[in-house]
Amino acid sequence: MTQEELDAMMNGEIDDIEELDDELGDTDEVSSDEISEDIKNIEDETDGGMPSGYNEDTSHHWPLPATDENKMVHQLDDVTKESEEKASEIFDIIEKISNDLMDKEENANRVIEVLTSNVELFKTLSEKFPDVEAFKTQLEKNESALVDSSDGLETLQNSGDAIMSVMDIMQYQDIHRQKIERVINVMRALAKYMNTLFEGKVDDDKRVSSAKHIVGDENNDVASTDDIEALLAQFGQ
């Protein structure tokens, strides 16, 4: 029944309900094929609650649902919190490595000091006792060990410098966190401003419900929930 027919009945233009039924004719008799087609069209349009055409390939065209996993400020708060925690853990690891390198540098310096003393000793012995091959052999071994120790010490020092550079670079993480927090504050300020802008004098629970049909709408055929349930019950029989 269309809105015009309801208006005509209310105005007294149609007195006989049976006459109205005759005018409706075949419109009261809905075939199962038509019902199945209507249900299929509704399913195609909603697709399980999603808009028509929504799929994994086109999901980036649609806004994400407002769940805890997709709330922007909620996600940014998690990012800043986790980022700060992980950065603190990284700093602790870097600091431990730096301390270990400094300890190894001290050990290497002591080894170099001993090797330098040995080189001087075996050099003196080799000069005084040139016929003793053992002094020459030990001199060569200590000189080689001294070179290797010096290279190892240089590597430790370079690694320590690299660690310090990493710690300097990690300082930018705190700057990035501050930038994200500034974005969060701007977003929250905008959200509060929009809420204030759309604020009304009447509480939502005291407002009248929205009309299902307004004169001038293109589709005048409006079915209530009871009508749909009755139609489906008739189809089930």
Write the DSSP assignment of 66-96 as a string of letters.
--TTT-HHHHHHHHHHHHHHHHHHHHHHHHH
Report residue 127 as tokens.
């000069």
From CA 111, how far away is CA 194, in angstroms rounded?
A: 71
Same domain, residue pair 190 and 160:
yes
As a whole number of angstroms, the longest Cα–Cα distance in the chain is 141
Mean pLDDT of 206-223: 63
Same domain, residue pair 183 and 109:
yes
Same domain, residue pair 81 and 152:
yes
Is 225 among the domain residues? no
In this prediction, residue 201 has a pLDDT band, given cuts at 50, 70 and 90, of confident
pLDDT exceeds 50 at position 20 = no
The confidence score (pLDDT) of residue 14 equals 46
Same domain, residue pair 104 and 163:
yes
Same domain, residue pair 134 and 27:
no
Instruction: Provide the residue range defining the domain that includes 37.
Output: 1-52
Phi, psi angle pair for 101, to nearest 5°: -65, -40
